[in-house]
Amino acid sequence: DQQVKQNSPSLSVQEGRISILNCDYTNSMFDYFLWYKKYPAEGPTFLISISSIKDKNEDGRFTVFLNKSAKHLSLHIVPSQPGDSAVYFCAASAGKTSYDKVIFGPGTSLSVIP
Amino acid sequence: GAVVSQHPSRVICKSGTSVKIECRSLDFQATTMFWYRQFPKQSLMLMATSNEGSKATYEQGVEKDKFLINHASLTLSTLTVTSAHPEDSSFYICSAPVNYGYTFGSGTRLTVV
């Protein structure tokens, strides 16, 4: 059973527009969420995270929104750039310690069209 | 930032041989290392968690005797795929917890022929 879901396997967005990547989770014990960006044949790179005590975290062009009641989070990229084209993984863990496992979603492939 | 160096990046081996993948934390001490496997167009699947100086914890369905994990020091964790078969061909990635979340190695593409 998939605990972290990204129901859109792919997304295409025009350069300069907003990219919205969605993520849903089922485990109510999750309280720390992360977004990673991954290029082919490379390891994921950390983008942004959010703790369950917040509903929004912003870092430059990237903003993550968390709706705990809906068990839903989203990553907004504004404005989208061609270099943002990659696979984006949503991940969740039940805590932020050295012993917490991170559960990844299946990823959404974002294509930003120039 | 915290860096995990993973080697090799690519390896091709014959069926029945063993392959060792190394992950080194370069500028921090990694008491814990997570090992993931990714199948094409699928998510990263956690295989096991290694802790320095103790036995690794394997996820359900992962064969301990096939995927040997060693975490002998605070800067080195290794994954050995023993008696590799073509179905073991995959992308393997290690990850260590850091203050902002987790840092990843660059991954190893294993192809078993």
- Taking only the tens of pLDDT, chain A with its 114 residues reads 678 899 898 999 999 999 999 999 999 989 889 999 988 767 788 899 999 999 999 999 999 999 999 999 999 999 999 999 999 999 998 865 544 677 888 889 999 999
Q: What is the pLDDT of residue A106?
A: 83
**Chain B environment of A86 (Cβ under 8 Å):** none
Please give the structure tokens belonging to residue B47.
């295989």
Q: What is the pLDDT of residue A102?
A: 78
**Chain B environment of A99 (Cβ under 8 Å):** 32, 49
What does the DSSP 8-state code read for residue A80? -
**CA atoms of A9 and A71, how far apart (whole Å):** 19
Give me the amino acid identity at B24.
R
Which residue, chain included where needed, has tokens 């921090």? B28
How far does A13 lie from chain B, in Å, by closest CA? 20
**CA atoms of A33 and A20, how far apart (whole Å):** 16
**CA atoms of B5 and A45, how far apart (whole Å):** 13
**Which of A23, A93, A101 to mutate against chain B (most B CBs within 10 Å)?**
A101
**CA atoms of A5 and B43, how far apart (whole Å):** 10
How far does B38 lie from chain A, in Å, by closest CA? 10
- CB-based contact B104 A43, cutoff 8 Å: yes
Lateral strand order in the sheet of B4-7: B4-7, B19-25, B76-81, B67-73
Give me the amino acid identity at A78.
V
- CB-based contact A44 B104, cutoff 8 Å: yes
Q: For B26-83, what is each residue's pLDDT tens digit?
A: 989 998 999 999 876 667 888 999 988 888 999 889 999 999 999 989 999 999 999 9
**Of B11-20, B42-51, B99-108, which one has max mean pLDDT?**
B11-20
**Chain A environment of B105 (Cβ under 8 Å):** 43
φ, ψ for residue A82, nearest 5 deg: -55, -35
Kindly indicate the confidence band of residue B103, based on its pLDDT and cuts at 50, 70 and 90.
Answer: confident
How far does B83 lie from chain A, in Å, by closest CA? 24
**CA atoms of A35 and A44, how far apart (whole Å):** 9
